[in-house]
Amino acid sequence: MRILYLLFAVVFLLFQAAPGSADLGLFADTAQCRSEGNFCRAGSCPPTFTVSGSCHGGLLKCCSK
């Protein structure tokens, strides 16, 4: 039973996101989208927003007002 606590802690640490990790330059298009005040979205943009580019290497859409 103790192994479950240890396993949970390891899984929690593996999937914990580092703050600001999207702006580290891993994806230049994501950093550019966020610097312009826009946001990234997996599906289509909300009705009042338009697609202004891509994020995460072309996997997501950059939505702008």
* pLDDT given for residue 17 in this prediction: 58
* Amino acid, single-letter form, for residue 18: A
What does residue 54 show for φ and ψ, rounded to 5 degrees? -130, 165
Give how many domains the chain has, as a whole number.
1
pLDDT one-digit tens code per residue, 5-36 = 888 888 777 777 555 555 455 688 888 999 99
Output 55 or 21, whichever has higher pLDDT: 55
Residue 1 inside a domain? The answer is no
Sign of the four-CA dihedral 10, 25, 54, 46: positive
Q: 31 — alpha (psi -120 to 50), left (phi > 0) or beta?
A: alpha
The pTM assigned to this predicted structure is 0.57
> Does some domain include residue 4?
no
CA distance 3 to 18: 26
In a domain, 40, yes or no: yes
Measured between alpha carbons, how far is 58 from 65 in angstroms, rounded to an integer? 20
Q: Chain-wide mean pLDDT for the chain?
A: 82
Specify the pLDDT at position 21.
53
Q: Is residue 16 part of a domain?
A: no
What domain range is 36 assigned to? 25-64
41 is a domain residue: yes
CATH number at residue 35: 3.10.360.10
